[in-house]
Amino acid sequence: MIPNSTAARDVAYLLHPYTNLSAHRESGPLVISRGKGIHVYDEEGREYIEGLAGLWCAGLGFDQERLVEAASRQMRQLPFYHAFGGKVPDVLVDLAEALMAIAPKPLERALFVNSGSEANDLAVKIAWYVNNALGRPEKKKIIARRKAYHGVTVMSGSLTGLAYAQDGFDLPVSRVVHVDTPHHYHGAEPDESEEDYATRLAEQLEATIQAEGPETVAAFIAEPVMGAGGVIVPPRTYFEKVQAVLRRHDVLFIADEVICGFGRTGNWFGCDTFGIRPDIMTVAKQLSAGFLPIAATLVSGPVYEALVAGSDKHGMFGHGNTYGGHPVAAAVALETLKIYHEMDIVGRVRRVGTALQEGLRRYIDHPLVGEVRGLGLIAGVELVADKASRTNFDKARGIGAGLVRRAQAHGLLTRAMPGDLIGFCPPMIIDEAGVAEMLRRFDVALEESWSALREAA
């Protein structure tokens, strides 16, 4: 029999990413049919606040008519072209110029791809290409961090420091080394200050580079705020001390701004928030506010000059994607940046982010809550089995997942991450009233979860 409901057809024909496929065959999907503002609606018409902006990406919500019009205009004018062999659609030049006007120094040029995974994959290829061009063929290892999320390609999935992105896929590949997660709440020694903890992490990085051999280490990659690994904000002075280590050993800094970029942390980029001067930076998600797939890898002047030298040697810089820098996606991204400027996205995030951060920190004394962390319009609430020892629940109990299901029942879509971390990353158009309603729905789910735990005890 041919299934006829949307849910049944989903189960019959669709292979879902990041899903327990066996369980999904029994439970089926939540089918989302439309969106407006910070809300999405299922096929029955039920309304939900999208508390994670979809996948950290729908910064302007779900009904920006200007972006629809930008795509339509470009479709009529030039629906496809490429930047191979010295050609270029004019709108891509406009986008590159607008992007570089807000990018952190010393970044100078952008190469466009289709996703954050591709952008990080390309960042590694660039680091390898640069060291080959500079006559350092052994300088190829990439240092990433445990709990980092950098994507799902073979290389970006190897950089990711989360087991679920690697188990069963024969990842990570060689040339990738992981160091500790900079999470003071779980990683610091008793009475160790944030600054002392940051010093210890920088010393660990130094020791790792020395153990691997500085002549073999090409780059260090980091998210300013770790997203899918648990919304982990680095301890004070961490990036200052890390960058000093990298400079001593001529190791490139790759900043993964796929989640943090375009205002999310209360500055244009997380690099601005933490004083990072990247050699390479990746962006995606909010670049088009999620309306169309587009991402970019940005490089500094010295990195670009090394690419030029390699191109002379090999006859070309042999990298590109058919749809990288697609003119329709570029037009939407360009209009997105215009909207960000007009609405003063940085100022807005700082103002509304205060309401989110202060509102969530009211839960720090709740019996289930171990830590509340975040800045700007990105935050997380970590649930713990024991507050005094900071002990997490047994993973098999699915405490965070249960809270997320209850939140969905009350009209809030969010996500449970490893360690029962409940993430918040709403569209950046949310206002204080929207934040208050989002937290009200979370509050109901939290209390229901606490009641269920007490009843089961």
6 CB neighbour count, 10 Å cutoff: 14
Calculate the CA 382 to chain-centre distance. Answer: 18
**Cα four-point dihedral sign 298, 261, 323, 331:** negative
281 and 378 part of one domain:
no
What backbone phi and psi angles, to 5 degrees, belong to 97? Answer: -65, -45
Query: What is residue 61's DSSP assignment?
Result: T
372: CB partners within 8 A, 6+ apart: 360, 361, 363, 364, 379, 380, 381, 382
Residue 110 lies in a domain: yes
pLDDT in tens, 291-301: 999 999 999 99
Residue 11 lies in a domain: no
pLDDT in tens, 263-298: 999 999 999 999 999 999 999 999 999 999 999 999
Q: Last residue of a domain, which of 325, 342, 359?
A: 342
Residue 116, Cβ density class (10 Å: 0-12 exposed, 13-18 middle, ≥19 buried): buried
Half-sphere exposure of 361 (CA within 13 A, CB side): 10
Average pLDDT of the residues in 224-239: 98
Reference 156, options 141, 138, 139, 171; nearest CA is: 171
- CA distance linking residue 366 with residue 220, whole number of Å: 37
Residue 23 lies in a domain: no
The answer to whether 24 and 11 have CB atoms below 8 angstroms apart is yes
- What is the model's pLDDT at position 457? 75
Residue 239 belongs to domain with CATH number: 3.40.640.10
Q: Last residue of a domain, which of 294, 320, 342?
A: 342
Share of the chain above pLDDT 70, in %: 99
pLDDT in tens, 64-74: 999 999 999 99
Residue 7 lies in a domain: no
205 and 252 part of one domain:
yes
pLDDT in tens, 371-381: 999 999 999 99
pLDDT in tens, 318-338: 999 999 999 999 999 999 999
152 and 231 part of one domain:
yes
171 and 316 part of one domain:
yes
Q: How many helices (H) and strands (E) does the chain have?
A: 16, 15
- What is the model's pLDDT at position 456? 86
190: CB partners within 8 A, 6+ apart: none
Domain that holds residue 59: 31-63+344-456
244 and 376 part of one domain:
no
**Number of domains comprising the chain:** 2
338 and 445 part of one domain:
no
Q: Do the bridges between strand 252-256 and strand 217-222 make them parallel or antiparallel, or are there none, so unpaired?
A: parallel
- What is the model's pLDDT at position 397? 95
pLDDT in tens, 25-50: 999 999 999 999 999 999 999 999 99
Residue 405 belongs to domain with CATH number: 3.90.1150.10
- What is the model's pLDDT at position 4? 79
Q: Last residue of a domain, which of 319, 342, 365?
A: 342
Residue 19 lies in a domain: no
157 and 52 part of one domain:
no
172 and 127 part of one domain:
yes
Average pLDDT of the residues in 218-223: 98
**0.75 exceeded by pTM:** yes
76 and 121 part of one domain:
yes
Average pLDDT of the residues in 163-191: 96
Residue 10 lies in a domain: no
327 and 348 part of one domain:
no
pLDDT in tens, 333-357: 999 999 999 999 999 999 999 999 9
Q: Is the pLDDT of residue 1 over 50?
A: no
- What is the model's pLDDT at position 199? 98
- CA distance linking residue 122 with residue 137, whole number of Å: 18
Residue 358 lies in a domain: yes
Average pLDDT, the chain: 97
79 and 42 part of one domain:
no
Q: C-alpha distances in angstroms, 384 versus 191, 378, 450?
A: 20, 20, 11
User: DSSP letters along 288-339, please?
Assistant: TTTSS--EEEEEEHHHHHHHHHHHHHHSS-----TTTT-HHHHHHHHHHHHH
176 and 49 part of one domain:
no
Q: Is the pLDDT of residue 2 over 70?
A: no
Residue 123 lies in a domain: yes
Reference 262, options 49, 112, 429, 401; nearest CA is: 429
